[in-house]
Amino acid sequence: MPSDRAESVKVSSDLAIQTSNMTKIFNGLVAVDGIDLNIKKGELFALLGPNGAGKTTTINMLCCLLKPTGGTATVMGYDINRQPFKIKEIIGVSPQETVISEHLNCWENLALIGKIHSIKAGELKIRSQQLLETMGLGDRAKDQARKFSGGMKRRLNIMMALIHKPEVLFLDEPTLGLDPQARRAIWEYIVRLKRETTILLTTHYMDEADFLADRIGIMDKGKIVALGTSTELKISVLEKHTMIIYAWNLTQRVISEMRSKYDEVEVTNGTMIITDKRLDFKEIVDLLHSSGAVVRSAYIKEPTLDDVFLHITGKELRE
Amino acid sequence: MRFLELASRNLKETYRDPLALGFLLAFPLLFMLLFGVVVGGEATPNFPIGIIDNDHTQVSQVFVNEALAEVDAFEVSTYDDATKAMKDLKFGDLKAYIVIPQGFGQQVIQSGQGDEANITLNITYDESDIMVSEQIISMINAVTRSFANIEIPITIDSNPIHIETEITYIDFIAPGIIIFGLLILIPTSARIMIHDKEKGMLSRLLTTPARPVDFISGYSLCLIAIAIVQIIIFIAAAWGFGMDIVGSLWLAFLIFFLAGLCSIGIGMVVASLTKTENQAEPLCWIFAMPLAILSGCWFSLEIMPSYIRNIAYAFPFAHAIDASRGVLIRGVGLEAISGDLLFLVGWAVGIFAIGVILFRRSMRS
């Protein structure tokens, strides 16, 4: 590892990104408000928040497009203020807007970024081939990008961030404006990238963060308002869980027993809804079985990140 | 080489867009065609005229100092002999020079007394400026007739230089139209750069290890390639429309190339100062159109008021037109146009330096 990686900031060797009170103010408007983030190497971290929360500004500071107004950060040990070109060599950025050269084909678009990163021609070809295959653009590789669908352009957009095998990958809203099928294809590819590279992803889609991220930072008005794994976030903010059971032959005795054990039990036409802080799925189903009830189906209604966001900020995520 | 990759990408983006490329090349050609076919232009002239008085009489001196000097359209300077005057004419400092022959005063006095007289003036003029030379001859004719108070036309012993080539309007207009084509590089270069800025490509590329100098060279090389192709096409087209090429083609090419560099630099400055194509485009035309008119792309600069000419010569394009007309039409060499060339080089270097500084500043906020 090069010796000039920042020493002024306390760097833990297992951290890929570390920010310390990083702030950006545009003409008096606070876009990012003193955030502290520690993202581990190999981690897929999602910044989740509504438009205007400061997610893209955060990324832009980390990839040295914007200078922070205050505070600092390191990327793989390099200081964003003092060593921007060191950082630019080891990161890949897939911008929020699809930014590709429309009159260039896939090969040429990939070569543009690859050659700027000084990748040798032979390696570039192999790497491009691999990416084109995995991203499913192999048969359209020689077509100019302007002829592509939105989903294909998006994939090329991500491929351009990957061509030089970056140590840290920034994906700014990777599936913005795509149909569910195209989103799913990109998710699958991102999942495959996990562990190979550290990924910082921004999104305002709850399901995206939930599906992809190891950890999630919920961002609102320039601040990280909650941080943790999807499960941690849901547990931390939601006090009660709900289990819904469809069953035949629910006796009065078992209903009474349930009511004595759990906070709320509602029964209507063979549907039992139990709500409490702690619910043990197996225990409840076993109890029903032993009472002679026939359980047709049962599930615990999972809290969503929407619920988490609503709980923390008092507003819905989607405007 | 990062900048080569950037340049090659910029070129592909340009030549694979047939409409944009068509506009780039066809627009000035259309102008050349129009001007080649429709000849026009009214003049409020201001012509530098040289006088060689071989008569040395009181009459000839009054003719020079009062009659000719009073003509607003003339800027009269006197010469001792024809060699120096011819040199200035060739360098474009004079539009014509008049040799007053011995006996001129005598003939004027005779005609004033009602006797038969043969008043002769020898005029040598720059034939390449057809509009101008015709006006000069008729004006001198009129002035002399009124001075000598006679009704009959005086004998004008005209001596156009360059008599072996027949100068057509296209000869005069073609260098100007070529410069106009190169002025269109202002919006072109601004558009190529601002497009990347607006669409986020510049931001994307700024997250790579490419340095400011890579970007500037990448854009410049692409635009220089466009400029070279443009110049070749324009010269070929002008030649096809009948322009005679008297002087060194390479020298003419160098002049056009430097003018092209200045355009690219201005476009780069505009692109650095603006954020969107909608801002950049009108700003570029605000530069390009007045510069085209001011620099004499379509009209002779002599027909403009002197303060306008001073403004025009503060920019490189009037110099480029003068120099290229000198080379292409009059066949002058490097020495004659060295002042114009130096001015062009200075401008190109200066505007590029400003462009680089502004670009660097706009890189990271």
Integer angstrom CA distances of residue B337 from A66, A291, B247, B332: 48, 109, 12, 8
- Which 114-153 residues of chain A touch chain B by CB within 8 A? 115-118, 144
Closest to B129 measured CA to CA, from B155, B96, B84:
B96
Please answer yes or no on whether A85 and B2 come within 8 Å at the CB atom.
Answer: no
Between the ranges A52-61, B152-161, B297-306, where is the mean pLDDT highest? A52-61
Establish if A203 belongs to a structural domain. Answer: yes
Interface membership of A67 toward B (CB under 8 Å):
yes
Amino acid in position B306: S
On chain A, the residues whose CB falls within 8 A of the CB of B203 are 60, 65, 95, 99
Task: Kindly tell me the sign of the dihedral angle through the C-alpha atoms of A177, A181, A185, A190.
Answer: positive
Please answer yes or no on whether A117 and B13 come within 8 Å at the CB atom.
Answer: no
Establish if A4 belongs to a structural domain. Answer: no
On chain A, the residues whose CB falls within 8 A of the CB of B199 are 97, 99
| In the predicted structure, residue B294 carries a pLDDT above the cut 90 | no
Q: Measured between CA atoms, how close is B10 to chain A, in angstroms? A: 9
Number of domains in chain A: 2
Query: What ipTM, to 2 d.p.?
Result: 0.78
* Closest CB from B9, B13, B201 relative to A99: B201
Establish if A319 belongs to a structural domain. Answer: no
Is the same domain home to A218 and A179?
A: yes
Cα–Cα dist B233/B239, whole Å: 10
Last residue of a domain, one of A235, A252, A269: A235
Domains and CATH numbers, chain B: 47-160 (3.40.1710.10), 168-364 (no CATH)
List, for residues A106-125, the tens digit of each pLDDT value.
999 999 999 999 999 999 99
Strands B96-100 and B120-126: antiparallel
DSSP structure string for B196-217: HHHTTHHHHHHTSS--HHHHHH
End-to-end CA distance of chain A: 45
Please answer yes or no on whether A67 and B6 come within 8 Å at the CB atom.
Answer: no
Is the same domain home to A149 and A297?
A: no
On chain B, the residues whose CB falls within 8 A of the CB of A101 are 9, 12-13, 201
Instruction: Provide the mean pLDDT of chain B.
Output: 81
List, for residues A125-176, the tens digit of each pLDDT value.
999 999 898 888 889 989 999 999 888 898 899 999 999 999 999 999 998 8
Establish if A199 belongs to a structural domain. Answer: yes
Is the same domain home to A219 and A243?
A: no
Please answer yes or no on whether B364 and A113 come within 8 Å at the CB atom.
Answer: no
Q: What are residue A171's DSSP bridge partners?
A: A94, A201
* Closest CB from B6, B209, B364 relative to A67: B364
Q: Tell me how far the alpha carbon of residue B68 is from its chain's centroid.
A: 27
CATH code for the domain in which residue A123 is found: 3.40.50.300
Task: Kindly tell me the sign of the dihedral angle through the C-alpha atoms of B304, B309, B315, B319.
Answer: positive
Closest to A60 measured CA to CA, from B273, B204, B194:
B204
Q: Measured between CA atoms, how close is A8 to chain B, in angstroms? A: 23
Q: Tell me how far the alpha carbon of residue A313 is from its chain's centroid.
A: 19
pTM of the model as a whole? 0.70
Size of interface A-B (CB pairs under 8 A): 69
Is the same domain home to A165 and A35?
A: yes
CATH code for the domain in which residue A262 is found: 3.30.70.980
Phi/psi for B352 (5° steps) reads -65, -40
| In the predicted structure, residue A43 carries a pLDDT above the cut 90 | yes
On chain B, the residues whose CB falls within 8 A of the CB of A65 are 203, 206-207, 364
List, for residues A271-300, the tens digit of each pLDDT value.
998 888 888 888 899 999 998 889 999 988
On chain B, the residues whose CB falls within 8 A of the CB of A160 are 204
**Token code pair at residue A90:** 């080891």
Question: Residue A212 belongs to what domain range?
Answer: 15-235
* Closest CB from A67, A103, A117 relative to B16: A103
List, for residues B39-83, the tens digit of each pLDDT value.
433 334 578 889 998 888 888 888 888 888 877 778 888 888 888
Please answer yes or no on whether A63 and B209 come within 8 Å at the CB atom.
Answer: no
Residue of B nearest to A169 (CA): B207
Long-range Cβ pairs for the range B75-83 (8 Å, 24+): B75/B46, B75/B47, B75/B48, B75/B49, B76/B49, B76/B50, B76/B51, B77/B48, B77/B49, B77/B50, B77/B51, B78/B50, B78/B51, B78/B52, B78/B53, B79/B50, B79/B51, B79/B52, B80/B52, B81/B52, B82/B52, B82/B124
Please answer yes or no on whether B201 and A101 come within 8 Å at the CB atom.
Answer: yes
Please answer yes or no on whether B5 and A112 come within 8 Å at the CB atom.
Answer: yes
Is the same domain home to A244 and A229?
A: no
Closest to A109 measured CA to CA, from A70, A144, A134:
A144
Contact A306, A230 (CB under 8 A): no
Amino acid in position B17: D
DSSP class of residue A50? -
